[in-house]
Amino acid sequence: MSTSVLSGVAPAPAAARIRPRKRLRNKRAIAILILPFGLLFAAFYLVPVIYAVIQSLQVIRREGTFGVPHLEFGGLSQYFLVFQDGEFWSSILRVLAFGVVQVPIMLGLALLFALLLDSPLVKGKKFFRLAFFAPYAVPGVIAAIMWGYLYSPSLSPFSFVTSQVNLLDGGTVLWAIANVVTWVYVGYNMLIIYSALLAIPGELYEAARLDGASQMRIAWSIKIPLVMPAIVLTAVFSVIGTLQLITEPQVFKQFTSSITSTFTPNLLVYTTAAVPNLNLAAAFSVVLAIATFILSFAVLRLTQRRAAL
């Protein structure tokens, strides 16, 4: 009797010794898999961010008018210049107005297209999915050049429209850019929302149909609430992209004089760095990054509170 009891408990210490080994092997495997990403993340994200912060705390001093320039620690002097720069804050207000109008329209279209693709009443889903996503495959510079020619009164094939409405005028060029951004990114956001729709269990739809719900009712009461996290994700991405707007304005400068070198915050940073004034450009970048973080966090918190209600 005692022998059987001992034989029953004897393997336990061996298993206990094996578990730490397995855990150690798992940790090593995880570390090996994460290492390439960690190195690239540190080299191309953390190091540039730290370098930009260091640059923003430095100033260029000269001994005399034509003296040799040298860097010195300037504290927050560059940031004082940033907060005193009216063009920088005007550019931020401009892109915020851009985002307030463009982002809801873009995400509304993306949600509508995703719901249409998920509807059992729509035929040819593969074709429409590819057609909606195709503009995202066009590089931003090419898309801006293409639309710039379409907007230009002297170059556009739709001159009968562009001659009546100047889409490159100072009052309309921002919304002309908004149209380009919407055309490019609707398909990208649509795929994110559509992927979330595909993850919804089909049993929910069957139960709703048994209760007599129409396709419109199913979309409004089941699909949209369940894909709200995906919509929030696309909203945060869109807010970040709005404050980083530079490609379309930079290209549109070749078609119109309404876009200045301070039209958007990133365009101002690029222009300042080209002067060159790298230290002030770094300060602009740091302030812009902080503003982007605060705005993105605010959008995320606001949407989470509404979802909780």
Could you read off the pLDDT of 65-97 as tens digits, one per residue?
666 777 888 889 999 999 999 999 999 999 999
51 in a structural domain: no
Assess whether 8 and 139 both reside in one domain: no
Residue 14 vs residues 11, 19, 27, 259: alpha-carbon distances, Å? 5, 9, 21, 73
* 102: in domain: yes
Q: 41 and 106 share a domain?
A: no
pLDDT score of 39 more than 70: yes
Q: What is the mean pLDDT of residues 132-145?
A: 92
**CATH code at 299?**
1.10.3720.10
Asked if 87 and 200 sit in the same domain, the reply is: yes
Q: Average pLDDT for residues 49-55, to the nearest whole number?
A: 93
Average pLDDT over residues 4-16: 50
Lowest-confidence segment of 37-41, 120-124, 146-150 by average pLDDT? 120-124
Q: Tell me, what amino acid is at 266? A: N
Same domain as 171, residue 248: yes
- Asked if 221 and 213 touch (Cβ cutoff 8 Å), the reply is yes
- Position 13 scores a pLDDT of 56
Domain match, 107 and 175 both:
yes
In a domain, 207, yes or no: yes
Asked, for residue 72, whether it belongs to a domain, the answer is: no
- pLDDT at site 97: 94
Token output for 289: 């990054």
pLDDT of residue 19: 67
Which helix (H) or strand (E) element contains residue 59? Answer: strand 58-61
Residues of the chain with pLDDT > 90: what percent? 57
Do 13 and 147 sit in the same domain of this protein? no
Whether 56 is in a domain gets the answer no
Pair 114, 220 in one domain: yes
Q: Tell me how far apart the alpha carbons of residues 187 and 195 are, in angstroms, rounded to a whole number.
A: 12
Dig out the tokens for 134 from the structure: 């195709």
The two three-digit tokens of residue 112, written as one number = 């509508």
Residue 14's pLDDT is 53
21-25, 190-194, 246-250: which range is least confident on average?
Answer: 21-25
pLDDT-derived band of residue 47, with 50, 70 and 90 as boundaries?
very high
Give the separation between CA 157 and CA 142, rounded to whole angstroms: 18
Select the more confidently predicted residue: 62 or 219: 219
- pLDDT at res. 309: 60
Note down the domain range covering 179.
80-308
Cβ neighbours of residue 246 closer than 8 Å, sequence gap 6 or more:
264, 266, 267, 270
Whether residue 154 has pLDDT greater than 50: yes
Q: Are residues 25 and 85 in the same domain?
A: no
- pLDDT, the chain, mean: 87
What pLDDT is stored for residue 4 in this prediction? Answer: 47
188 and 118 within one domain: yes
Task: Provide mean pLDDT across the span 134-157.
Answer: 90
Q: Return the structure tokens found at 136.
A: 């995202």
255: nearest Cα among 177, 151, 178, 175: 151
Q: 23 and 142: one domain?
A: no
Q: What is the pLDDT of residue 307?
A: 60
* Residue 63 confidence class, pLDDT cut points 50, 70, 90: confident
Q: What domain count does the chain have?
A: 2
Residue 57 lies in a domain: no
The answer to whether residues 132 and 16 belong to one domain is no
Looking at the fold, whether 36 and 170 belong to one and the same domain comes out as no
Residue 50 domain-assigned?
Answer: no
Answer whether residue 186 is part of any domain.
Answer: yes
